[in-house]
């Protein structure tokens, strides 16, 4: 367990402090730190940590995808810890457009989908926007409250 925790911490640090563009690059950087990991294990670790590859102004890189990881970290001095990942929620018919901080949309969409809410049929995510489809009979206030709970 301690080895895995150490590896997860090293992955978090690398993602926070540098632009990592591929799993191969991440495997190499971990090896430089003395942590040998297979690509399959790394893939599981990235999913566990809610880290996804997202498009940025400078190309693709790995970033935290879920707000729960930021709030679960122990670093209370982290600036990101104090900023809400959801910027806005807007409705158009049965569509919900959720604006997030860059890199958070994929994790939020995943969490919404995995909640199996009777309010939402499904989601599509980009880097900073989640497009969700509400059920016909879903109340907008209930949906807004449901989504806000992910903050």
Question: 55: which 2 tokens?
Answer: 């498009």
Q: In what order do the strands lie in the sheet with 120-125?
A: 86-92, 95-100, 129-134, 120-125
Q: Is 86:151 a contact under the CB 8 Å cutoff?
A: yes
Q: What is the pLDDT of residue 65?
A: 61
Residue written as tokens 């990881």?
A: 69
d(CA 133, CA 64): 24
Rg, the chain, Cα only: 17
Residue written as tokens 């994790």?
A: 107
- CATH for 83-148 (3.30.1360.40, 1.10.3210.10, 3.40.190.10, 1.25.40.10): 3.30.1360.40
Q: What is the pTM of this model?
A: 0.50
As a CATH number, domain 2-72 is: 1.10.10.10
Q: What is the pLDDT of residue 55?
A: 65
Residue ranges, the chain, pLDDT below 50: 67-82
Give domain limits for the chain: 2-72, 83-148
The CA distances from residue 20 to 26, 50, 72, 106, in Å, are 6, 15, 22, 18
pLDDT digits (tens, 9 = 90+) for 19-46: 888 888 999 999 999 999 888 788 888 8
The residue length of the chain stands at 151
d(CA 109, CA 105): 6
d(CA 83, CA 3): 31
């Amino acid at each position: 367990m301690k080895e895995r925790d150490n590896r997860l911490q090293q992955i978090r640090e690398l993602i926070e402090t540098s632009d990592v563009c591929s799993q191969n690059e991440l495997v190499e950087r971990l090896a430089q730190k003395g942590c040998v990991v297979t690509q399959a294990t790394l893939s599981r670790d990235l999913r566990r940590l809610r880290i996804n590859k997202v498009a940025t102004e400078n190309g693709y890189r790995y970033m935290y995808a879920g707000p729960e990881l930021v709030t679960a970290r122990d670093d209370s001095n982290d600036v990101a810890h104090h900023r809400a990942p959801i910027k806005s929620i807007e409705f158009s018919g049965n569509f919900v457009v959720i604006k997030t901080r860059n890199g958070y949309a994929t994790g939020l969409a995943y969490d919404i989908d995995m909640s199996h809410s009777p309010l939402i049929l499904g989601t599509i995510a980009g880097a900073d926007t989640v497009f969700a489809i509400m059920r016909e009979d879903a109340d907008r206030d209930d949906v807004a409250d449901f989504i806000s709970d992910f903050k």
